[in-house]
Chain A
Amino acid sequence: MDKRISIDKKRLERFEFKSVKELKANLETKPEIRENLSEDFRGTLKAQGININEEFKTQIRAEWRETIKSDIRRVADENPESKNWYLKQVLAEEPIKLKVKVDKATGTNKKSLRRSR
């Protein structure tokens, strides 16, 4: 798979990385920071007072995961027709209940969701 994609910066606004919130605000008023970031990302962050230490990484990672979780729920909600997603069961905090039909001749196991009773 080789797919080139341009990032839509607007879409990234939902990631609320609090540690860089002030820097994001500064980008609007100081365009040179954006240029500096492109040339030396880590150095510019440091110059802006952002220390990339373990505490910083942990916080970023946690915030990132939170957004991923929220995205997953949103995508699932946007696809109501996808009734058979196991994900729907997980998001509803229900176990995945499956019916499996075993076809020994072909060696395949056909799976389908069972309705919860």
Chain B
Amino acid sequence: MQTGGYDVVAEVNETLLNKFLKLGHCIGKFPVFSGVYTLPIEDVPESLHEFIDIGYEVSVNEAPTIDFTSTGSAVLNIRGQCKFTVLGGIEFELEAEFTVGVVPSFNQYTRRFHLEFVKATIDDVELNDMFHLPGNVITKLNEVLAIGMEEFLTYDLTTVELSPVLYSAELPYMPPGEANKLTIGMGNVKIFNNNVMAAAANLLGYTGGNINTVIDFTDGNHAGVGINEGAMHRVYDFWWQRTTHPKSVTQTGSKDFDMPDIVEWIDELVDWVAAVLTLGIVDVDIDIDRVWADFGATVRFGKFNFDLKPGNKIMLDGSISADIWLKAYVQITETTELFWGLVDVDETTSTVNLFDLSINGLTVNIDSAEAKVYLDSSNQLTADITELDITFPLPWDIPEFLLDYLVDWVVDQIVDNLPPLVLFPAIFEETIPDTSITVEATVNKLVIDEPEALVAANIETSNPGSYAPYWANNNPESLEVHKRDCEWAHRMATRHKVYYCDLEKAFADGYDGCAYCLPKYHHR
């Protein structure tokens, strides 16, 4: 068992987290922060206060990267750009590299990984020292920078939420309301083999599992989700109790039988009609105009029992209660008017009701059924039944053309209206909350084994056009860069659009700022 006895284990590769850190940087998850640091010098006259205040403005100027270590910890490498204002107006700019100790964790409410910043340390500083400051001043600025960044990264900006939503808490066909969503409780988090992190969770109040026995099942993919069979049973029970999906269906039908259907019974049908019309005492010729049946069934489904099997299969069994009715008729035109009251009569035809049967509460057993499990287009773990053994104890001795047709029809109603087997919510949700970014998971592994289902996928995000904050126009007649909400950005031809997360990079590539939305950077 690779999920360690937990209900669900989500795993992500650091490659995916780095991809999402890049995305987070692009959409502004690491905002510019600024403040004033007052040097801790006592008894400074009020007129000199501005000289002990150091203003700072820090931004993360490149996407941070995360690195899982072999000791099971994680660090975030951040390159920041800092601007100091000292002595009432003198500005210094510098770039600094930080290592931020992070505690990766999993938010069971959002079903996303996030990083909690615990300690930031400065690794390197490159000061644009046009004033040739003495060493002790540089040292003091470094201290300020370290304090500022640590505050920024461990107080102002305590966490960054990463990764797509790995699984939903909402099941299909459920009424609205929090009570009808799955409750997810955190189990534990583990980093293994330098590049994969696992988060184990339990559902619906279950407690159990051992993080030490969780195994990396991503097989080199960006992410994986493993679901224990016990969890599937709890989810299915929870769903079945609450779902709005119909658990019963009523269908009706009508069928006209032609000569090939009734050929083996034609003599008997004629005899039956003639006998009841003439009481066997008068010779007649009759035209058989029509033989048909009206029928219907109400089928009430019960909850299935199921069992995971190797080869992405599930075996099921269960029972169904059915109310079934059938009325079979023969319509004839006769040559002699003989009616004596048992049959309905109009001017030219008689209709004899051969059979009028109904049965309520017939128990139809699904002795066993085999279902193939796959992820459907909405990444829902879906079980499609491929084969069923049904026991159908309908005791009606009626001609086989009627019985065969009716039984087959009722079985079709059962099979075609079976409620879905909801085993787990959607895996890898297709949107990232509070963004316009969509996610597409390419499932490369789906393994159903006796105790669990394991899914691994590579995750791709939507085109940068859906989230990049700057759009440049590479049409030689333009070569301008715009904010994404600038009306001129939306006027450019798709073939000329170039997307940037960073304005500086756009300028470095030779674009000029738009006069309308970036007038400060418009130079042409």
Q: Type the 1/0 row for B246-261, where 1 means its CB is closer than 8 Å to any CB of A.
A: 0000000000101100
Question: B399 and A75: CB pair below 8 A?
Answer: yes
Closest chain B residue, CB of each to CB of A74: B268
Question: Considering the complex, which residues of chain B in the window 305-351 have a beta carbon less than 8 Å from any beta carbon of chain A?
Answer: 336-342
Question: Considering the complex, which residues of chain A in the window 11-33 have a beta carbon less than 8 Å from any beta carbon of chain B?
Answer: 11-15, 17, 20, 23-24, 27
Q: Which residues on B sit within 8 Å (CB–CB) of A71? A: 268, 271-272
Tell me the count of chain A residues lying within 8 A, CB to CB, of chain B: 57
- Alpha-carbon separation in the docked complex, A42 to B342 (Å): 11
Least CB distance from A19 to B in Å reads 8
Range class of the B interface residue count: 35 or more
- Alpha-carbon separation in the docked complex, A27 to B396 (Å): 37
A52 at the interface (CB under 8 A from B): yes
Question: B392 and A5: CB pair below 8 A?
Answer: no
Q: Type the 1/0 row for B388-410, where 1 means its CB is closer than 8 Å to any CB of A.
A: 11111111111110011001100
- Alpha-carbon separation in the docked complex, A69 to B341 (Å): 23
Q: Which residues on B sit within 8 Å (CB–CB) of A64? A: 272, 275-276
Question: A41 and B338: CB pair below 8 A?
Answer: yes
- Alpha-carbon separation in the docked complex, A111 to B289 (Å): 31
Q: In the complex, which of the residues A68, A72, A91 has the most CB atoms of chain B within 10 Å of its own CB atom? A: A68
Question: A7 and B283: CB pair below 8 A?
Answer: yes
Q: Of B272, B404, B412, which is within 8 A of A86 by CB?
A: B404
Task: Using A64-B275, A90-B397, A109-B411 as known contacts, say yes or no to A79 and B264 having CB atoms under 8 A apart.
Answer: yes
A6 at the interface (CB under 8 A from B): yes
Interface SS majority for chain B: mixed
Question: A1 and B397: CB pair below 8 A?
Answer: no
B270 at the interface (CB under 8 A from A): yes
Question: A42 and B397: CB pair below 8 A?
Answer: no
- Alpha-carbon separation in the docked complex, A23 to B282 (Å): 11
Question: B281 and A27: CB pair below 8 A?
Answer: yes
- Alpha-carbon separation in the docked complex, A14 to B285 (Å): 19
Least CB distance from B355 to A in Å reads 8
- Alpha-carbon separation in the docked complex, A7 to B271 (Å): 7
Q: Type the 1/0 row for A74-107, where 1 means its CB is closer than 8 Å to any CB of B.
A: 0110010010011100110101111111101000
Question: A68 and B279: CB pair below 8 A?
Answer: no
Task: Using A60-B279, A76-B400, A87-B397 as known contacts, say yes or no to A1 and B291 having CB atoms under 8 A apart.
Answer: yes
Q: Which residues on A sit within 8 Å (CB–CB) of B126? A: none
Closest chain B residue, CB of each to CB of A13: B280
Q: Which residues on B sit within 8 Å (CB–CB) of A4? A: 285-287
Question: B403 and A12: CB pair below 8 A?
Answer: no
Q: Of A20, A69, A85, which is within 8 A of B279 by CB?
A: A20
Closest chain B residue, CB of each to CB of A7: B274
Least CB distance from B365 to A in Å reads 8
Q: Of A12, A38, A96, A98, which is within 8 A of B280 by CB?
A: A12
Question: B264 and A100: CB pair below 8 A?
Answer: no
Question: B274 and A12: CB pair below 8 A?
Answer: yes
- Alpha-carbon separation in the docked complex, A102 to B388 (Å): 8
Q: Which residues on A sit within 8 Å (CB–CB) of B43? A: none
Question: A38 and B282: CB pair below 8 A?
Answer: yes
B211 at the interface (CB under 8 A from A): no
Question: A91 and B397: CB pair below 8 A?
Answer: yes
Q: List 12 A-B contacts (CB under 8 A).
A: A4-B287, A5-B286, A12-B274, A12-B275, A34-B281, A41-B282, A41-B339, A52-B340, A75-B264, A90-B394, A96-B394, A97-B389
Q: Which 5 A-B pairs have the closest CB atoms?
A: A95-B393, A12-B280, A87-B400, A15-B275, A85-B400
Name A's B-contacting residues (CB within 8 A).
1-7, 9, 11-15, 17, 20, 23-24, 27, 34, 37-38, 41-42, 45, 52, 57, 60-61, 64, 67-69, 71-73, 75-76, 79, 82, 85-87, 90-91, 93, 95-102, 104, 109, 111, 114
Name B's A-contacting residues (CB within 8 A).
256, 258-259, 264-268, 270-272, 274-276, 278-291, 336-342, 354, 367, 384-400, 403-404, 407-408, 411-412, 415-416
